[in-house]
Amino acid sequence: MSETGKKVAVGIDLGGTAVKIGILNAAYEILAQTSIPTDADRPYQEVIADMGKTASALLARNGFAVADCAGAGVGSPGTIDSKNGVVLYSNNIRWDNVPLAKELQKYLPVPIYVQNDANCAALGEVLRGAAKGCQNAVFLTLGTGVGGGIVINGKIFEGGHPGGAELGHIKCGAEGRRCTCGRADCLEAYASATALIHDAKEMAKQYPDSLLWALCDHDLEKMNAKIPFDAADAGDPCGRLLVDNYIQYLADGITDLANIFRPDLIVLGGGVCAQGEKLTEPLNQHLRANCFGSTVAYVPRAVVAKNGNQAGMIGAAGLVSL
Amino acid sequence: MSETGKKVAVGIDLGGTAVKIGILNAAYEILAQTSIPTDADRPYQEVIADMGKTASALLARNGFAVADCAGAGVGSPGTIDSKNGVVLYSNNIRWDNVPLAKELQKYLPVPIYVQNDANCAALGEVLRGAAKGCQNAVFLTLGTGVGGGIVINGKIFEGGHPGGAELGHIKCGAEGRRCTCGRADCLEAYASATALIHDAKEMAKQYPDSLLWALCDHDLEKMNAKIPFDAADAGDPCGRLLVDNYIQYLADGITDLANIFRPDLIVLGGGVCAQGEKLTEPLNQHLRANCFGSTVAYVPRAVVAKNGNQAGMIGAAGLVSL
């Protein structure tokens, strides 16, 4: 048994570049953590073997026997069959029908739970983050894509079948932008960091005098999702337009989610949410103005996630009952 | 006790024109039913008194004592506080903060449950209808407006707070159409029967040679949601265009809902669903082509509701545990 006699959970965040592994207690505090490169080009068996051996070693190194560990949760990108612990498909790590739980248990003989990484991040924010104590929350991560997670009555709602809670893939905008999923005009095609960067590059090409150029050192390859916000702050009309458009699209998406889920809060994660109130204030104005029945019904607020890069690990550990 | 010794439930469908009241058994079969005019211009107390007295009389007339009745469910239009049995706001019957459950119990002294009418219809289709036996279903009613209902794990999901499950108020289309809720471009503004009728009238005005004119007796006031489908069947290009556009908007909306909920089925109710496969076949083609991860994940089918005008009454009775 551990020194305190209390059980711990392992939380694993499987990313395209790195696998983050942590040991967490019942308060979802990270007692120890490490990370290894994913190196996703290898056979999945090797990736999972490394994951399991590293987790076991981390437990041992910190004085925990396998019996001290109530289970391990893994947050994985892609479409997950959580019931069977299988990664059905992940574009990110190029996995196809990988029996993650079964394989991991060879190296880490505890109950294994697998969930989509954005679902884990949503749960993490509810357990110990911006939505702590909320029973109902919707989470959007604004990064390379737009990931979604839904918490209903304190638990992840992943949809009735694998492939639910894909909140980046609701319709938004009408420019005919092709989404990575194949459909046109998904929220992801307008509200991901990738989309904002793409739009900023196009805008810069059209307006050679824009401050956008100076902010990316006159090299469009250095464009990032912060630059349009910085340009807007400095009074650049191109920056302002980019930010206003971006927020309008995002606001449309979260208003849909408010009308569907009417959650306690809408939590925004991912790189773009570093903009804090520059993002949430106009979003909240839009929500108050556009939510169905906003004069009589509760209007959820949009807030910024608190768990940052640890959101996935915390939420993955949250899959384990402690 | 009733002759069989088994308890029954009262299901009440409160509509803008009529109040339908039924007695249902545990199999959600309607043992007896009646209806009275709503006459919503009266003080709400009178409407509810009539509702309660009529339900009590219906029970008595059919040999049921009050003790035989496990409870009464009421499906009401508008935004409902189901916890307290209050109609927060209903545009349809012009009610504002009406304590329906408390008031009704004066005349029908059994446990009273109040829910949004579309939520009830959704539940009705799961209990005894097109989605019978499904654990997860999404319901859309295509009528004057577009109502929505969500069933998760066999139970109504109404959102974390009143004002959720407003599935007619998700963004769809980009023509700037003002919705009844105040927001622009809601699904309701494109996929309600009202929207289709409006579009058909505009189309007819533009094309004096269209078959639409003959089908409405050359009187646009007689336009209805069936006429565009009939015109399309007869080869009229205006009818075809109207139907194709209508289905495209609806398909976008239900694809969003499929990506969010990944339900067993998507059930369509309301007048437009009388079109049956003319509606569901192209919708299902669109779902298969556009659902996220449709090559690896379950793609829900769109089907037509079975309970018709009784859906609300059946679902309202379903609010009562029998």
Q: What is the pLDDT along chain A (322 residues), one digit of tens a residue?
A: 455 568 999 999 999 999 999 999 999 999 999 999 999 999 999 999 999 999 999 999 999 999 999 999 999 999 999 999 999 999 889 999 999 999 999 999 999 999 999 999 999 999 999 999 999 999 999 999 999 999 999 999 999 999 999 999 999 988 999 998 999 999 999 999 999 999 999 999 999 999 999 999 999 999 999 999 999 999 999 999 999 999 999 999 999 999 999 999 999 999 999 999 999 999 999 999 999 988 888 999 999 999 999 999 999 999 998 8
**What pLDDT, on a 0 to 100 scale, did the predictor assign at position A1?**
46
Q: Is the domain of B150 the same as that of B206? A: yes
Chain segment B135-159, per-residue pLDDT in tens: 999 999 999 999 999 999 999 999 9
- Three-state SS sequence of chain B: CCCCCCCEEEEEEECCCEEEEEEECCCCCEEEEEEEECCCCCCHHHHHHHHHHHHHHHHHHCCCCHHHEEEEEEEECCEEECCCCEEEEECCCCEEEECHHHHHHCCCCCCEEEEEHHHHHHHHHHHHCCCCCCCCEEEEEECCCEEEEEEECCEECCCCCCCCCCHHHCECCCCCCECCCCCECECHHHHCHHHHHHHHHHHHHHCCCCHHHHHCCCCHHHCCCCHHHHHHHCCCHHHHHHHHHHHHHHHHHHHHHHHHHCCCEEEEECHHHHHCHHHHHHHHHHHHHHCCCCCCCCCCEEEECCCHHHHHHHHHHHCCCC
- Both B190 and B276 in one domain: the answer is yes
B214–chain A nearest CA distance, Å: 35
Q: Give the Å distances, CA to CA, from B292 to A78, A79, A138, A160, B28.
A: 11, 9, 19, 14, 36
A174 in a domain, yes or no?
yes
For residue A29, tell me if it sits in a domain. yes
CATH (domain of B84): 3.30.420.40
Say if residue B209 is in the same domain as residue B97: no
For tokens 């008031």, what's the residue? Answer: B103
- Which residues does chain A have within 8 Å of residue B158's beta carbon, measured at their own beta carbons? 262
Residue A63 within a domain: yes
Both A186 and A297 in one domain: the answer is: yes
If you measure CA to CA, which chain B residue comes closest to A184? B290
Question: In this predicted complex, what is the ipTM?
Answer: 0.94
Q: Are B79 and A171 an interchain contact pair (Cβ–Cβ within 8 Å)?
A: no
Spatial contact of A61 and A32, defined as CB atoms under 8 Å apart: yes
Nearest chain B alpha carbon to A175 = B174
Comparing CB atoms, the residue among B152, B163, B296 nearest residue A293 is: B163
Among the partner-chain residues A161, A297, A300, the one whose CB lies closest to the CB of B297 is A161
Q: CB B171 to CB A252 under 8 A? A: yes
pLDDT recorded at residue A10: 98
- Answer yes or no: is pLDDT of B4 > 70: no
Could you tell me if residue B1 is inside a domain? Answer: no
Q: A210 lies in which domain range?
A: 130-305
Are A92 and A155 contained in the same domain?
Answer: no
Structural domain includes residue B2:
no
Are B167 and B93 in the same domain?
A: no
Q: Do A163 and B262 touch (CB under 8 A)?
A: yes
- Return d(Cα A186, Cα B57) in angstroms, integer: 53
Taking CB atoms and an 8 Å cutoff, what residues of chain B touch A165?
260, 262
Q: Is residue B84 part of a domain?
A: yes
Instruction: Write the residue in A150, A174, A297 that is nearest to B88 by C-beta.
Output: A297
Its pTM stands at 0.94
The verdict on A94 and A139 lying in the same domain is: no
Examine the domain organization and report whether A142 and A51 are in the same domain.
no
* Interface touch B293/A166, C-beta < 8 Å: yes
CB atoms within 10 A of CB B63: 12
Q: In chain B, how many domains are there?
A: 2
Same domain as B135, residue B107: no
Does B146 lie in the same domain as B88? no
Q: Is residue A155 part of a domain?
A: yes
A211 and A288 assigned to the same domain: yes
Asked whether residue A3 is domain-assigned, the answer is: no
Do residues B314 and B301 both lie within one domain? no
